Amino acid sequence: MLRTEMLQEVTQSLRTHKARTALAVLTVAWGVFMLVLLLGAGRGLQNGVELEFKDDAVNSIRVYQGTTTQPFNGHARGRRIRFDNTAYDVLRSSVDVLDKSSGRYYPGGDLIARFGRQQGGFDIRGVHPEHVFLEKTKIVSGRFINQQDLTHKRKVCVIGAVVASRLFGDQPPVGESILLGDIAWQVVGVFTDAGGRSEEEQIYLPVSTSQLLFGGGDRIHQMLYTVGDATYQQSRDSVQQTRNLLADLYRFSPQDERAVRIYNNLDEYKKITDLFFWVRVFVAVVGLGTIITGILAVSNIMMISVAERRTEIGIRKAIGATPASITRLIVFESLIITAIAGYIGLMASIGLLELLKAVIPENEYLYQPDVNTALVAAVTLLIVVAGTLSGYLPARRAASIAPVEALNG
């Protein structure tokens, strides 16, 4: 009953002082709104950047052919480095932290894939079995290329979902044969890829078979490997080890970084994680400022409320109201204001984030802005509690007013 009467009194007070109430609610709600929006935008920015990594293993190292820029041991500069199976075998057996690996051989030419009357031009790659781990390839039907395919130089292929749809429509591709040029290849698997449509327009062949049938000899155009659970520093060491091994094999200077170009995915990933550490620091600072602003706003407004209600408080005390009851009334009013404001700010910000998620297409700048619901609820609760406590000092001040002093103005 007492709480009901207190709620009625607080409601009446809020209605009587509409401008003051609206200002308090707006101040706290805006703070919550901006905090949640910043948290969501920060997460959206991180999601957008991480899209660049979803296609490939984060811990991957990619090695590309290059051209020497320095003379070395009698070799002139400007020499093209051309990888082969020996180079791949050297890396696979000698790089300390190498976990999964694959070479790539690109047949080249304008190969057209055909099945019946359907045809299309697709990206064709000869690869090793562990390529499936490097590209985050997900087999949805059949299997990927295996070691037996390489050993026996089988004419088999694994096709992307887009290839399957274009050539086969609704017909199951596994077990059927497609023509690449004039050569028939049996489809043994269909895959999807986190990289999306462009990655699903690929056709994978056993590297040994593609080298044989497309005149590649022992050529390898690109080499890739992962470093397992190696540390960031160990991944950097593996890059230098790779360069040293290839420099010894192809006789170029280990300091010539253009002879072979090595891309460490962990370098880029570390830059991103370091960047988002500072983004989180920025959001935390803004969040702290928001909380402090909310506390000060509610405290100041409640002090104004106490000043405006001196006569009312004096009458209450004159007819028997205790200091504790006056304190509870003011603190309860602070609670109502901050709770309503926190809820409004929270709902408005979450609503805007949901709208942005629905209308923003997949991109590398801002994608799926979202927030951790538990974290946002905790922060909002903290602001409500802090705002409520901020009303305590004005409440104590109100409770300490002598009835005669209050009635005399």
Q: Are 140 and 191 in contact (CB under 8 A)?
A: yes
Same domain, residue pair 239 and 332:
no
389: three-class secondary structure by DSSP: helix
What distance in Å separates the CA atoms of residue 98 and residue 58, rounded to the nearest whole number? Answer: 14
Residue 2 pLDDT class (50, 70, 90 cuts)? very low
Q: Are 207 and 157 in contact (CB under 8 A)?
A: no
- Domain around 387: 2-52+270-407
For residues 267 and 212, the model is more confident at 212
Q: What is the mean pLDDT of residues 321-350?
A: 78
For residues 253 and 307, the model is more confident at 253
State how far Cα 66 lies from the chain centre.
32
State how far Cα 360 lies from the chain centre.
15
Q: What is the pLDDT of residues 153-186, one digit of tens each?
A: 999 999 999 999 999 999 999 999 999 989 999 9
> So what's the pLDDT on residue 30?
81
> So what's the pLDDT on residue 408?
58
Same domain, residue pair 29 and 64:
no
Last residue of a domain, one of 208, 232, 265: 265
Same domain, residue pair 224 and 330:
no
Same domain, residue pair 282 and 199:
no
Q: Decide if pLDDT at 122 tops 50.
A: yes
Q: Are 119 and 133 in contact (CB under 8 A)?
A: no
Same domain, residue pair 135 and 67:
yes
Antiparallel, parallel or unpaired: β 260-264 and 60-65: antiparallel
* C-alpha torsion sign, points 111, 116, 119, 123: negative
Q: Are 220 and 88 in contact (CB under 8 A)?
A: yes
Task: Give the total number of structural domains in the chain.
Answer: 2
Same domain, residue pair 241 and 343:
no
Same domain, residue pair 278 and 259:
no
* Partners of residue 264 on adjacent β-strands: 61
Same domain, residue pair 281 and 259:
no
* C-alpha torsion sign, points 405, 406, 408, 409: positive
Q: Are 198 and 55 in contact (CB under 8 A)?
A: no
Last residue of a domain, one of 238, 265, 292: 265
Last residue of a domain, one of 231, 265, 299: 265
Q: Decide if pLDDT at 264 tops 80.
A: yes
Q: Decide if pLDDT at 363 tops 70.
A: no
Q: What is the CA radius of gyration of the chain?
A: 34
Q: Which two tokens stand for residue 231?
A: 């540390």
Same domain, residue pair 283 and 369:
yes
> So what's the pLDDT on residue 359?
77
Residue 1 pLDDT class (50, 70, 90 cuts)? very low
| Average pLDDT score over the chain | 83
Q: Are 156 and 143 in contact (CB under 8 A)?
A: no
Q: Are 174 and 189 in contact (CB under 8 A)?
A: yes
> So what's the pLDDT on residue 365?
61
> So what's the pLDDT on residue 35?
79
370: three-class secondary structure by DSSP: coil
State how far Cα 390 lies from the chain centre.
37
Same domain, residue pair 192 and 339:
no
Q: What global pTM score does this model have?
A: 0.67
Q: Are 323 and 397 in contact (CB under 8 A)?
A: no
Same domain, residue pair 292 and 258:
no
* Partners of residue 222 on adjacent β-strands: 64, 104
Same domain, residue pair 256 and 285:
no
- What is the helix (H) or strand (E) element at residue 112, kind and residue range? strand 112-115
Q: What is the pLDDT of residues 197-211, one digit of tens each?
A: 788 999 999 999 999
